[in-house]
Amino acid sequence: MDGGATAGEPWDRYARAVVEIVVADGVLELTPRPGDVAPPAAPAAEAPVGGLLAGPVSIVTAGDPYPEVLDAAANARRMAALVARLDAAGVTHLPALGRSPDRRESEVSRALVGLDRAAVLAVAAADGQLAVFEIDGATIACVAVADGAVRTRRAYDAVLRP
């Protein structure tokens, strides 16, 4: 794990989260492999995420500001406001979903393309989020919004579903 990594909830749960990103040809599904990996010696951000998207790609949500759990209508309003802010700022973003491997839990999100970590963390902090996913050509990292520390980093398998 990267410096600052800690074990335990919610980081263990986040490390297992599957990320789905809507792309032109379908849904790109990124499934983390078991066990954390060391950060790459050289940045893999220029390698395409899942073989399709120019990196870096970050996954953010506006729903359920930590530690609150809001109803579906409130989360939908928060997501609509996030999309409006991203559009106004000219940020490239795609529909995304972060979900548990068993599909019992999911969170509607956006995949931000091409923003650096500081910009992504600012977006997430504005919505009271605990963490974001940062995806490069080789790994999915869970990054804490409060301090920018990488809490988990895992290699992933990518599948494009129609």
pTM summary value: 0.91
How far is residue 118 from each of residues 64, 85, 98, 114, measured CA to CA in Å? 21, 17, 21, 12
How is 43-59 classified by DSSP, letter by letter?
A: --TTSPBTTTBPSPEEE
The pLDDT of residue 47 is above 50: yes
pLDDT at residue 109, as a whole number: 98
- In DSSP terms, which residues pair with 53 in a beta bridge? 49
- Residue 157 amino acid letter: D
For 121-146, write each residue's pLDDT tens digit: 999 999 999 999 999 999 999 999 99
pLDDT at residue 44, as a whole number: 55
Decide which of 50 and 60 is more confident. 60
- For residue 23, the Cα-to-chain-centroid distance in whole angstroms is 15
The pLDDT of residue 94 is above 50: yes
